[in-house]
Amino acid sequence: MHISIILYLLFIALINSFDNIGIRVAYSLGGIKVQFLKNIVISLMAFTVSLIASFSGNVVSGFLDDKLSSFLSMLLLLFTGIRIIIQTFRKEQKDAVNIKTLGYKESISIGIALALDDIGGAVGVGLAGYNAFAVASAFFTVSFLIFLTGNYLIRILRKLRISYKLTTVLAGLLMIVIGISQVI
């Protein structure tokens, strides 16, 4: 495969992954680390959905239109954001010192939400005739790198000693705003 095609597919995956960046920033603000295996879970969902979407092309777009995908993505992101905010006020202050890790249930929920958001781009690239495996690999790579680099952002935020509750509530609110933006 020519390097220009690889770069093009990575660019398309990146453009479709701005929500991933927002979600990762939200988790970083909340001090939530995404461990390697959970990052793989999220990225594999992006891979699987984009593989199916790009391979299926018109079939997937007819079965799960952009509005339905956006609505389902919004619901998952809203639920996750609200849960983050509620958990912030249920935890004791001593927990604030520790860096939290993303659980498998939340990894799956976020993975599904973000993967559903990738359907439109993957279908479009698939309809343009690009190899479905190459398209899915680009989505996997971009998603994986976004969540991996976010773990380093946590270290920077911790050094700045920003309030735990403030950053976690901001993380939840950012997740809610991203969710709502799915249907606007």
pLDDT confidence of residue 145: 92
pLDDT in tens, the chain (184 residues): 789 888 888 887 877 776 777 788 778 777 788 889 999 999 999 899 888 887 875 455 556 666 776 676 677 667 777 876 787 777 554 444 455 778 888 888 888 888 887 777 777 777 667 788 998 899 999 999 988 887 777 777 667 766 667 766 776 777 677 677 767 7
Gap between the terminal Cα atoms of the chain: 37
pLDDT confidence of residue 95: 44
pLDDT confidence of residue 137: 92
The pair of structure tokens assigned to 6 is 């690889």
DSSP letter assigned to residue 102: -
| Long-range contact pairs involving 132-137 (C-beta distance under 8 Å, separation at least 24) | 132/51, 132/54, 132/55, 133/51, 134/1, 134/5, 134/6, 134/9, 135/9, 135/12, 135/13, 135/50, 135/51, 135/54, 136/46, 136/47, 136/48, 136/50, 136/51, 136/54, 137/9, 137/47
pLDDT confidence of residue 32: 82
CA distance 7 to 166: 38
pLDDT confidence of residue 94: 45
For 46, 84, 143, 164, the CA distances from 137, given in Å and listed in that order, are 9, 30, 10, 36
Question: Domain extents for the chain?
Answer: 3-181
DSSP letter assigned to residue 99: P
pLDDT confidence of residue 102: 82
